């Protein structure tokens, strides 16, 4: 039998190019080289297609940035489904505080995997009307609100808790990502963070906190702070989170 010649056509011509594939390649590029490296031309080159082929799946650079946010939340939602399946139950079967903690942990894990995308997650939705935000963003918002509704909270209280949850989670993660490493190969924390450039007589407190800044565990800080904030919220109106009786 004669050998079959390899198909050397581009992914787009082979019918394999898709929006998920385009966004996956964009995420990989940003992970490796940062947001400044992301252009339609470079993305097309990475995918082995002409630049115009990309425009079938995302109309331009701004839409591509929104696509990175979409991909971020697709991964968050996927992790939440996977962790629910691993424990044999979904979100509604957990106490509401525990479920919010689980969601925060998933967001933190994805932020660790894609730190360069995190600033977009915090800023891009602000420039888009809610109804036009990517579906994975809206799906997670709907899930959060459903968690609080099933716990028995009214709409007003649910919105307060939801806003507090989002503000703390994103804020805590963004503060950590601001600690940009100046020299990753330097074992000394002062030199690794570049804080040796700060005059000790002018910034004694910053210099004194270097060990804490260098060893900061943002996920632990995130969850500990979230527990503290949620403990200040009112108890759920229902005795049990799922299928419970009203008090």
On whether both 96 and 55 belong to a single domain, the answer is no
Note whether residue 219 is domain-resident.
no
What value, to the nearest 5°, has the Cα angle with vertex 51 and ends 48 and 52? Answer: 125
Per-residue pLDDT, 34: 93
Do 124 and 84 lie in one domain? The reply is yes
Range of the domain at 39: 13-59
**Is residue 150 in some structural domain?**
yes
Do 42 and 158 share a domain, yes or no? no
Give CA separation, 22 vs 34, 42, 191, in Å.
16, 12, 39
Distances (CA, A) of 10 to 17, 39, 41, 60, 246: 9, 19, 15, 21, 60
Is 155 found in the same domain as 87?
yes
40 shares its domain with 103 = no
Task: Say if residue 157 is in the same domain as residue 88.
Answer: yes
What's the first-to-final CA gap in the chain, in angstroms? Answer: 76
What is the number of structural domains in the chain?
2
Confidence at residue 89, expressed as pLDDT on a 0 to 100 scale: 53
Quickly list H helices, 118-182.
118-123, 135-150, 155-177
> Residue 195's CB: how many other CB atoms inside 10 A?
19
**From CA 83, how far away is CA 79, in angstroms rounded?**
6
Alpha-carbon gap, residue 20 to 24, rounded angstroms: 6
Residue 177's pLDDT is 62
Query: Per residue of the chain (247 residues), what is the pLDDT tens digit?
Result: 444 443 444 454 445 889 999 999 999 999 999 999 999 999 999 999 998 999 999 998 999 999 999 999 999 999 999 987 666 554 444 589 999 999 999 999 999 999 999 999 999 988 888 888 999 999 999 999 999 999 999 999 999 999 999 999 999 888 766 556 666 777 777 777 777 788 888 988 887 887 777 676 777 888 989 999 988 887 787 644 444 443 3
User: Which pLDDT belongs to residue 216?
Assistant: 66
């Amino acid at each position: 039998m004669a050998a079959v010649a390899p198909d050397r056509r581009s992914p787009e011509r082979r019918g394999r190019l898709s929006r998920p594939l385009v966004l996956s390649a964009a995420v990989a590029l940003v992970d490796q080289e940062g947001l400044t490296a992301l252009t339609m031309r470079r993305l097309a080159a990475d995918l082995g297609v002409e630049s115009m082929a990309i425009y079938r799946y995302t109309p331009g650079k701004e839409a591509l940035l929104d696509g990175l946010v979409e991909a971020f939340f697709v991964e968050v939602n996927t992790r939440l489904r996977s962790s629910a399946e691993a424990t044999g139950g979904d979100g509604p079967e957990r106490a509401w505080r525990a479920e919010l903690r689980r969601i925060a942990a998933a967001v933190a894990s994805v932020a660790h995997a894609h730190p360069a995308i995190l600033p977009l997650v915090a800023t891009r939705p602000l420039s888009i009307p809610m109804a036009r935000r990517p579906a994975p963003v809206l799906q997670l918002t709907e899930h959060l609100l459903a968690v609080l509704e099933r716990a028995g909270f009214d709409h007003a209280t649910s919105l307060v808790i939801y806003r507090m949850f989002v503000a703390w989670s994103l804020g805590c993660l963004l503060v950590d990502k601001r600690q940009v490493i100046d020299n990753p190969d330097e074992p000394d924390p002062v030199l690794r963070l570049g804080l040796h450039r700060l005059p000790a007589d002018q910034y004694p407190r910053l210099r004194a906190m270097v060990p804490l800044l260098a060893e900061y565990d943002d996920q632990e800080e995130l969850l500990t702070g979230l527990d503290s904030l949620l403990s200040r919220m009112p108890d759920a109106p229902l005795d049990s989170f799922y299928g419970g009786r009203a008090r």
